[in-house]
Chain A
């Protein structure tokens, strides 16, 4: 218990120093508060951003719904919805395709040239086309985010299937397994470490793309909000929005880490 709290204190030391330095700089008057607001100001703005806009009215909505009616929660929920929707769409396409391309050399030869040409184009470069094709709002965001998640999942899945040790395939066939069983019970779990790494990278990119998409094509969500705040020189709100984005990203990665540890508890070097 003492050691745990000691480690917690240690991990908080550097962030506390950074905030203290930031506070000193903001107080010194050397920089304009428009450029760098004080930490306290950001926290106040953050609280306001999270608070409901209208007073509680029991006849209109439940207390919980009212609590979550602040701009921050709606923005976060919207961004998260787009990330997950786009990520699931991209994964739903990339995973089966990657398994097929990894397992069948002929399919790989057929599709690889096209994919190699499209892959280096950053998803952000698709924004103009996405707006032309899908207009504004969620549809272009889903398209861009799916695209961003698609390639890391695809490339890792292909590599994962190819890197399954031949000896496992031999052992499975030797024990009488047919092709479908070999695929389902040997190739798929054998490729899982790579696939999960791909999913983790994919959702990270999806989160980057959602912010950019919201700055250009959506006009809602956290990305839109911090761009909007810049128009009004609300640097405190920009920072509050950025920290929110960071915390959500951290939460997503934490969840992915738990999923990893659970699915790979058989793997060497990973604690269950």
Chain B
């Protein structure tokens, strides 16, 4: 357990933009312990999704390196499974086929795949929806399927890119609780990107606040509050005030940039 699940060493990611190079991330040093629930928090354009993509293996760092479970990340892999904000369910597959997809890549038998799929559909309250197509489901249901699809392949690291950003507040809280329920005791490492301050404090062991472009680590905040957390408690709000102040400084820089026309480029 001494080995960190994720380790970033002086990671820099730069993109070619319309007006020269855009530095999304610069000099990120970060270690995430195994089993830890960590949130990356910051305004849009702080490079938090870029960092997640680098861990997933979708983006290669321009300089520095990312290690996952001790190995340098060179390509996407099922031990670092991603849940996307846009769900990214395959629309031409049914719910059950979507959840089965990753399992089939592991060469499991048909019966075994069916058994695991049924188990995860049950755990995420999707029983009876196996034969539906994604288009027939609500946003919350789709995200449940996406989570089931990823958990089915039992990844050591779970990468979540603003997964609940497009959901209404009640559905979001519901899914946050389910995520915590599934995560607790699973030993899985979760790296969760959000711009929701309350969401980050509600969920995680640790909130990493990032700076506006170029993205750097601004502050690393431990959240020691016992779970289940009460967002209306004074301790929670104390922490929320502190983190809000940090995020708002970066939000101000972000807005200043936008007004000056240095608009946010792609994530």
CB neighbours (8 Å) of B105 from chain A are 175-178, 181
A33 and B42 alpha carbons, distance in the complex (Å)? 82
Interface residues of B in 70-111 (CB under 8 A from A): 75-78, 80-82, 84, 86, 88, 90-93, 101-102, 105-106
Interface status of B58 (Cβ within 8 A of chain A): yes
A-B pair number, CB within 8 angstroms: 66
State whether A170 touches B90 (Cβ < 8 A): no
State whether A268 touches B135 (Cβ < 8 A): yes
Provide the A145-177 mask, 1 if CB < 8 A to any CB of B, else 0: 000000000000000000000011011111111
* Cβ-neighbour of A170 out of B77, B88, B93, B134 (below 8 A): B88
Interface status of B236 (Cβ within 8 A of chain A): no
Given A171-B84, A171-B90, A172-B101, decide whether A267 and B135 contact each other with a Cβ distance below 8 A: yes
Interface SS majority for chain A = helix
Interface SS majority for chain B = loop
Interface status of A42 (Cβ within 8 A of chain B): no
State whether A266 touches B101 (Cβ < 8 A): no
State whether A266 touches B78 (Cβ < 8 A): no
Size category of the binding interface on chain A? 20 to 34
Given A171-B84, A266-B133, decide whether A176 and B106 contact each other with a Cβ distance below 8 A: yes
What distance in Å separates the Cβ of A199 from its nearest Cβ neighbour in chain B?
17
A170 and B90 alpha carbons, distance in the complex (Å)? 11
Provide the B135-156 mask, 1 if CB < 8 A to any CB of A, else 0: 1000000000000011001000
Taking each of A167, A181, A192, A266, which has the highest tally of chain B beta carbons within 10 Å of its own beta carbon?
A266
Please name 27 pairs of A and B residues whose Cβ atoms are closer than 8 Å in the assembled complex, sorted by A.
A167-B86, A167-B88, A168-B88, A170-B76, A170-B82, A170-B84, A172-B90, A172-B101, A173-B75, A173-B76, A174-B57, A174-B76, A174-B77, A174-B78, A174-B80, A175-B78, A175-B81, A176-B77, A176-B106, A177-B101, A181-B105, A186-B90, A189-B90, A189-B93, A265-B133, A267-B92, A268-B135
The list of the 6 closest CB pairs from A to B, nearest first, reads: A175-B102, A176-B78, A176-B105, A189-B92, A171-B88, A173-B76
